Amino acid sequence: MPEQIGGARNWDYRYCWLRDATLTLLGLMHAGFYDEALAWREWLLRAVAGSPDQVQIMYGIAGERFLEERTVPWLPGYEGSAPVRIGNAAYGQVQLDIFGEVMDADYQARRGGLTASESGWNVQLALMEHLDRVWMKPDASIWEIRGEWQQFTYSKVMAWVAVDRVIKNAEAFGLQGPLERWRKMREVIHRDVCERGFDSERGSFVQAYGSKKLDASLLLLPSVGFLPVTDPRIAGTVAAIERELIADGFVRRYDTEDPPDGLLPGEGVFLACSFWLVDVYLLQNRRREAERLFERLVSLCNDVGLLSEEYDPGAKRLVGNFPQAFTHVALINSAFNLTRDTKPVHQRARASAGKLKA
């Protein structure tokens, strides 16, 4: 299903994104499915094996790398949402956040007792060498924009997460690596984000360096441990997103009237982002607000309990890719956060929050 009826956003989603895969791996472990998580991690290592500068953000389900995009003009698309596309040109994009997701998933897997392999650590070492060369460059962001690449704040944060987790892996499990160089790299990235990704006039982190715009991905900063939720910069960011990115109680991923992706304005609220706000509310000890938002989100499920990528509050219908793993993984994590003493959001947030000053 397209993101925008009658518009240009109609993508082929029959592939495996590293981001979604690693988040799914975390969800499987939290649910106790360690055999499945191990199988998924082995697929991940096979997919990214090879030259680290050739790592892709997505692959075919059998590890295919060449996913050339083309349009199919003889198909009208769902409710006239032409052009219909086969393949996905995003496979050639740089999205720096995937490094953080992969490294964090491996760290959490080791902590959960999954058997580690020497080849897996070697892959991580190679990826770290590559990240050291590219983290300061612009990218297409978590939203894989098709406009001009920018210095997206969340992308830099996740580059920091990658370095932080590989350090934690080495320290906790006696793995060999250039720890002092990594520690310096972690400090440099953290300082860079705090100096260039935070707007003191707004009192908030912003979508990209030099921008005044917000981005819902910034809700994840305390969840991944970049800064503690009690930091005033995080509080200011959450408050700004509540003021400017909420529509009918749900969260938009960015300013949809002036999107950064070079596409037509307008889209529904982004359901995964709304679940991220549930998790932040829990970190802020705003449990009742977290419960109310979670209950509203779950009420959007269709008759078999599935959710799409987005929701149109005006038309009161699910829109976007359907069903979408990204949304359901976020739902599962929020459900665990609300119902378990050991909460996934605390597990990630406490990995590093508060250990650095900026």
Residue 356: the pLDDT is 41
Residue 283: the pLDDT is 94
Residue 90: the pLDDT is 87
Residue 3: the pLDDT is 43
Q: Please, is 341 exposed, middle or buried when counting C-beta atoms within 10 Å of its C-beta (0-12, 13-18, 19+)?
A: exposed
Please, are residues 336 and 278 in contact by the beta-carbon 8 Å criterion?
no
Residue 265: the pLDDT is 58
Could you tell me the two tokens for 163?
């370095």
Alpha carbon distances (Å) from 261 to 141, 206, 215, 239: 10, 16, 13, 25
b/e burial code for range 210-248 (CB count within 10 A of at least 16 → b):
ebebbbbbbbbbbbbbbbbbebebbebbbebbeeebbee
Residue 44: the pLDDT is 77
Strand partners, 71: 85
Q: Hey, is 71 helix, strand or coil?
A: strand
Q: For residues 51 and 158, what is the distance between their CA atoms, to the nearest angstrom?
A: 21
CB atoms within 10 A of CB 143: 19
Residue 191: the pLDDT is 97
Residues 6+ apart with CB under 8 A from 189: 135, 156, 159, 160, 163
Residue 182: the pLDDT is 97
Residue 58: the pLDDT is 87
Q: Where are the beta strands (DSSP E) in 138-245?
A: 198-199, 204-205
Q: What is the reported pTM?
A: 0.90
Could you tell me the two tokens for 219?
């809700």
Could you tell me the two tokens for 243?
């003021």
DSSP labels, 101-151:
HHHHHHHHHHHTTPPP-HHHHHHHHHHHHHHHHHTTS-B-TTTT-SS--B-
Q: Among 147, 244, 204, 262, which residue's Cα sits nearest to residue 253?
A: 244
Name the stretches of the chain with pLDDT < 50. 1-8, 353-358
Please give the angle made by the CA atoms of 202, 204 and 206, to the nearest 5 degrees: 100
Taken in order of first residue, the domains within the chain and their CATH numbers are 16-349 (1.50.10.10)
Could you tell me the two tokens for 214?
């917000």
Specify the amino acid at residue 212: K
Q: For residues 150 and 160, what is the distance between their CA atoms, to the nearest angstrom?
A: 17
At 37, give phi and psi (nearest 5°): -65, -40
Tokens 């605390």 correspond to 346
Please give the angle made by the CA atoms of 217, 223 and 218, to the nearest 5 degrees: 20
Specify the amino acid at residue 233: R
Q: For residues 285 and 283, what is the distance between their CA atoms, to the nearest angstrom?
A: 5
Q: Hey, is 142 helix, strand or coil?
A: coil
